[in-house]
Amino acid sequence: MAQDINLLPEITEEEVRKSTYTRRVNFVAIASLLVIGTILLAVFGYWLFLAANSERLKVQTKNAEEQILSPSLTRKEITRRSLVERLNEAGQFVSSVIPYSESIDKIIKFFSASKVSLTENEFKDSGDQTLIGEFVSPSHFKTLTDKFISEGETENFDNVTLVSLTKEELDEKTGKEGNYIFNLGMKYLKKGISGVTSSSTNQ
């Protein structure tokens, strides 16, 4: 009885597994190379798109700038800028100016009503005012200070402070009693020129 002869070389199971594994690894390697290649292509493509866009913008910007720098539009722009700048400046200025005429008007009225004489004064743009004067009777001075601190004047005068109060010596020749000399400090609160408002010009 003849025995069957196996002509095919025997492939072990391990060799079959190894070959499959090698094929898979190669496939993954090629796939990853392809993915990287695609990403690179996409990146370069996007870069080219951006570069083209940038060039297009440069050309359009140059055209727009040339249009703005044309004599007629330049004239219009200079006029508008000067106008708005000056109005802003004027607005700020009129709102910060102290209406000294109103302050002096009140001072004149208060001093003449209280029979106190004003000898010196100093006003500063911060609103600080110093009034130096003299009076004969303390009641006159009280009338004066009452006027500055009265309820109707709280929006005009604030921090009314007596800085110093001295009494002149008796005049030996005439026998006349010396006057009281005072130094009154206060803050004038009003700002802005009446009739000119600068509401929101700097918006």
Partner 1 sequence: MKKDTAAVFRIYILPILATVVVILIVPFVLLPQLDRIKIKNQEVKEGQERLDRLNKKISDLSLVDETSESVMLLELEKVIPGSKKLAPLIVGLRNMALESNLVITDMNFKPGRVGTEATNSATISSLSKKTKSQINEKGTSSQGELIFIVKVSGSLENVKKFFAKLEIAKRLMGVEVVKGEQDEEDSSKYRFELSVNAPFEPAKSEGDVVGEPLPELTSAHKSLFDQLIGLKDYTNKDVPTVKTGVDNPFE
Residues 113-132 that bind partner 1 (CB under 8 A): 117-126
Cβ pair 98, 91 in contact under 8 A:
no
Write phi, then psi, for 127 (nearest 5 degrees). Answer: 100, -10
Question: Contact with partner 1 (CB under 8 A): which of 61, 139, 150, 164?
Answer: 61
65-124: contacts with partner 1 (CB under 8 A):
65, 67-69, 72-73, 75-91, 93-94, 96-101, 104-105, 107-108, 117-124
Q: Is 138 left (phi over 0), alpha (psi -120 to 50) or beta?
A: alpha
Nearer to partner 1, 8 or 187 (CB): 187
Q: Which of 15, 16, 20, 64 binds partner 1 (CB under 8 A)?
A: 64
Question: What is the nearest approach in angstroms of partner 1 to the Cβ of residue 67?
Answer: 6
Site for partner 1 contains 51 (CB under 8 A): yes
Toward partner 1, which CB reaches closer, 1 or 51? 51
Member of 16, 17, 38, 46 binding partner 1 (CB under 8 A): 46
In the bound complex, what is the minimum distance in angstroms from residue 118's beta carbon to partner 1?
7
Contact status: 199 vs partner 1 (CB under 8 A): yes
Residue identified by tokens 């001093």 is 111
How far, in Å, CA of 14 to CA of 25, rounded? 16
Tokens 């009641």 identify what position? Answer: 139
Going by C-alpha positions, the residue among 154, 155, 164, 200 that lies closest to residue 184 is: 164
Starting at the edge strand found earlier in the chain, the sheet holding 128-135 runs 128-135, 180-188, 157-167
